[in-house]
Amino acid sequence: MKTKSVRKSLRIIVFFAVLADEKEILEYLGREKTYLAIPEIYLGICHELYDKLKSEGYDWKTYTRIKECFVPALKCDIKDWDDKLGIPVVKNYDKDLGIIRYRN
């Protein structure tokens, strides 16, 4: 019984892989695209680390510290753009809770 459901799932995946693009699959699954963004509370730290990378050259520890600040965000969560880093900024973010979304 289990192998039938696995085979059926694989057929659906193959079908989507061939006939649909990413947007159609995400709509079918009820998901939205996510983007990497930096919460506004970490923006100052990221600017300092970015300046350090620019002045001292590539350092994987510094680069990793910048990457640790990234969060996945929906398009509706992105409220600003940082020109220096070239990345979207999220304003409603809490260190413990993550991105805060308010219901309308």
pLDDT higher for 91 or 5?
A: 91
State the CB neighbour count (10 A cutoff) for residue 63. 14
The residues spanned by each domain of the chain are 1-31, 33-104
pLDDT band per the 50, 70, 90 thresholds, residue 10: very low
pLDDT per residue as tens digits for the range 73-102: 988 889 899 999 999 999 999 888 888 887
* Global pTM value: 0.64
CA 36 centroid distance within chain = 3
pLDDT per residue as tens digits for the range 40-80: 999 999 999 999 988 988 888 888 898 899 999 988 889 89
CA angle 21, 23, 24 (to 5 degrees): 70
8 A C-beta contact, residue 71 and residue 38: yes
